[in-house]
Amino acid sequence: MLNPTLTIKSIQAHDDFTVDIQMSNGKEFQFDIKPYLKGIGLKKLRDIIFFKQVKFSGEVLYWDDKHDFPLHCMNIPQNLLH
């Protein structure tokens, strides 16, 4: 279960379609978006220039109003959530 006060503190996007995420609890993980790029709705994220424009707010990574990923959708290992 996701800690309701857990937020994103910083991010770094990479050329391999991964994003390093540091959370407000001080723990870090790498989110690999490649498995999601097969979906038609995320076609725009296949453009590496657009992908690397990722931003964050609270518990959400986002690119624009149609492309986002909240922390609870990222399969974060349980030991990193506390």
37-49: per-residue pLDDT in tens?
A: 988 888 999 999 9
Q: Is residue 2 over pLDDT 80?
A: no
Q: Domains in the chain, please, with CATH?
A: 8-80 (3.30.2020.40)
37: DSSP letter: T
Split at pLDDT 50, 70, 90, the class of 3 is low
Among residues of the chain, what percentage have pLDDT more than 70?
95
Q: For the chain, where are the E strands, in sequence order?
A: 8-13, 18-23, 28-32, 55-57, 60-64, 67-70
Helices (H), 1-82: 48-51
Report, as an integer, the average pLDDT of 55-76: 91
9-43: per-residue pLDDT in tens?
A: 999 999 999 999 999 999 999 999 999 998 888 89
Torsional class of 31: left (φ above 0), alpha (ψ -120 to 50), beta (otherwise)? beta
